[in-house]
Amino acid sequence: MARKSLLLWLFVCSLSVAHAQPAISSSLSKDEQVKTIWAWYKKSLLTQDSASVVNQLQAAEQYYRNKDLELPMQQAWLIQQVYLSTQYRGLPTSVDIMLRAEETARQKGWPMVAAECWYYTGDYYFVLEKFGPAFEYMQKARHLFEAKGINNYPYTRRYAGGLAECYYRFGEYEQAIKHYKEALAVPAYWNNVFYFTAVENSIALCYQQLKQYDSAIYYFNRSHASAAAVKDSFYMSLSYGNLGYTYHLQGKDMLALPLLLEDYEGSMKAREWGSAINAAMVLVTIYLRQGKVSEAQRYLDLARPYVYQWGGAVLYKNWYENLYRYHQYKGNDALALQYADSLLLYKDSLAVIRGNRTLNQAKLKVETEQHLKAINELEYQRRQEVFIRNSLLIVLLLTCIIGLLWVNRQRLKRNKELQLSAMAREKDRQQLAFAQQELTGYTNKLKEKNELIEQFRQELEQLQQHGLQENKERMENLHQLLNATILTEEDWRTFRDLYEKVYPGFFIRLREKMPDLSAADTRLIALTKLQLPPKDMAAMLGVSYDAIKKARQRLRKKVNLPEEGSLDELVNLI
């Protein structure tokens, strides 16, 4: 009876004829896809020669790549690396292979596969009892699994068993239980790849070390039931032997005895000599307690050939302790004293070993904590770098968004301004057209007025020629009308307002350029810009045609207009 050490995988290998890679449907869950290809490897490929194994794994990788099954393709590649590393049984080759595989996986953009490579790196360190780096690499793998979400990748739970083994070696049994139970959460359909029996047995051993015997008994029974389900006779015996030893620790030797006997017989049959000797030593102790000296002697004799072959401090201590008690019970005091000396020697040696082991465990714990601290610091630094990078990206993105919004706002503003400008221009155009229409209409009315006045003038001349007395009053009225100013001050203001709408700022510019002009000159220039004939100007201003001509001549002299210059051209420049 002995604790059978789990290293990392806890898989069962069975012999079978190799066949091509299994067909995997994309409808299967990620977990089932991984389980299928690992089951094929463990049950079908490991019995073949290395060249055949590698060729079939490479073919499987290509097959899954062609089928666009990314996860099985990655796992086929990973299994190749694991298989190649197992062909070397020592450092640094095996570790180097897995570390190179990890780097390659990262370059391929396969972070989960890279983490699995870390795990197997830790596995090789663990086998060589380099528990510090073993724990470091397994923890690195664990951190990445957790970051990606273990529930998203359930198959990674099986790796928790290796981490649990490290905690067991450190004497951290509660932590070991935690991780063993997580490994035990692997779905039941992994039973042809993952060995649940061994995990349950290891959980029970942790509870046994913690002296939580009820829990230990529960898990030893579970381990026995699991072993019975797969017809593993050795593990059936081993779990019963461990269960018997638990009863023995509780002082329940009657319950322990049959279980230990079964463990001894099963271990001998399986040629597991270490487990058989441990069971025999406990049986000797129980038989001596019960006074069954002959039965005790029988198992001492059965164990003797193997004790010195499989010796160790613990085994020798139990061996000499049983010999001491046996001869003491037989009354052989001299032999009892002789074996007592050997017992004390090995007890002291065992105490030193346990002390050294405790010290080593403490050192390993400190070393592990330092590794974890370094890992956490690196992880914190990485997260800070990621945070800073993401913050910069967010600031850059927000700046771009704000910039785009600003540009868009400016564009909308510009479009709005252009639209308003176009509307203003259209409004100005319409107002100008309306003002021109009004000015033209007003001018036409003045022309009509001029025509009416001309008729009055002709009628007055006719009346003067006939000289009739009765027409005297009518002649006076016509004469007053003719002498009246056609363009009155009120008319001028109305005319000027319309004129300003058509020619904005004209009168201001005229005053700036020709400040010496009289009001009559200003009116004459305004009518000239309208390109009215002198006759119409005379009528509108209420003067004669000759007066208009003389006024234009005076205006030319006032503004110093040369002979070849035209007054109309000058006015158009204003």
Contact 98, 85 (CB under 8 A): yes
Confidence of residue 215 (pLDDT cuts 50, 70, 90): very high
DSSP of 225-277, one letter per residue?
HHHHHTT-HHHHHHHHHHHHHHHHHTT-HHHHHHHHHHHHHHHHHTT-HHHHH
Q: Is 277 exposed, middle or buried (0-12, 13-18, 19+ CB in 10 A)?
A: buried
The helix/strand/coil state of 194 is strand
Cis upstream peptide for 504 (omega within 30°): no
Token pair of 519 as six digits: 């009001």
Residue 555 lies in a domain: yes
Q: Is 153 within the bounds of a domain?
A: yes
Is 396 within the bounds of a domain? no
User: Number of C-alpha atoms within 13 angstroms, CB side, residue 206?
Assistant: 26
Q: What is the pLDDT of residue 201?
A: 94
- Answer yes or no: is 301 within a domain: no
Range of the domain at 17: 9-21+30-194
Q: Give the per-residue pLDDT at 378.
A: 74
pLDDT tens, residue by residue, 244-282: 999 999 999 999 999 999 999 999 999 998 899 999 999
Q: How confident is the model at residue 472 (pLDDT cuts 50, 70, 90)?
A: low
Tokens 């090789």 identify what position?
Answer: 124
The per-residue pLDDT for range 57-93, each reduced to its tens digit, is 999 999 999 999 999 999 999 999 999 998 865 556 8
Instruction: Give the amino acid at 82.
Output: V
Rounded to whole angstroms, the Cα distance separating 158 from 179 reads 10
Last residue of a domain, one of 194, 226, 242: 194
Higher pLDDT, residue 77 or 370: 77
Specify the pTM. Answer: 0.60
55 domain residue, yes or no: yes
CATH of the domain at 178: 1.25.40.10
Q: Total domain count for the chain?
A: 2
pLDDT tens, residue by residue, 26-37: 788 888 999 999
What pLDDT score does 17 carry?
Answer: 36
What would the mean pLDDT of 128-134 be, rounded to a whole number? 83
For residue 192 the two structure tokens come to: 């042809």
Cα atoms in the 13 Å half-sphere on the side-chain side of 316: 19
Mean pLDDT to the nearest integer, 25-49: 88
Query: What's the burial of 384, exposed, middle or buried (CB within 10 Å: 0-12/13-18/19+)?
Result: exposed
User: What would the two tokens of residue 478 be?
Assistant: 């016509």
In a domain, 533, yes or no: yes
CATH number at residue 548: 1.10.10
Residue written as token pair 């004799």: 301
Q: Considering the domain boundaries, does residue 459 fall inside one?
A: no
Tokens of 214: 């009820």
Distance between CA atoms of residues 54 and 76, nearest Å: 10
Pick from 485, 571, 494, 540: nearest CA to 552 = 571
Phi, psi values for residue 191, rounded to 5°: -65, -20
Distances from the Cα of 445 to the Cα of 224, 339, 397, 487, angstroms: 125, 151, 70, 11
Q: From 162, 194, 226, give the residue that closes a domain.
A: 194
Q: Say if CB 125 and CB 134 are below 8 A apart.
A: yes
Half-sphere CA count of 71, side-chain side, radius 13 A: 19
Report helix, strand or coil for 574.
coil
Q: Which residues contact 144 (CB under 8 A, 6 or more apart)?
A: 111, 112, 114, 115, 118
Q: Out of 194, 226, 244, pick the residue that ends a domain.
A: 194
Q: Which of 120-124, 257-261, 506-510 has the lowest mean pLDDT?
A: 506-510
Residues 6+ apart with CB under 8 A from 435: 498, 501, 502
Q: What is the pLDDT of residue 5?
A: 36
Report if residue 257 sits inside a domain. Answer: no
User: Which of 251-265, 488-502, 539-553 is most confident?
Assistant: 251-265
> Cα 13–18–21 angle (5° rounding)?
100
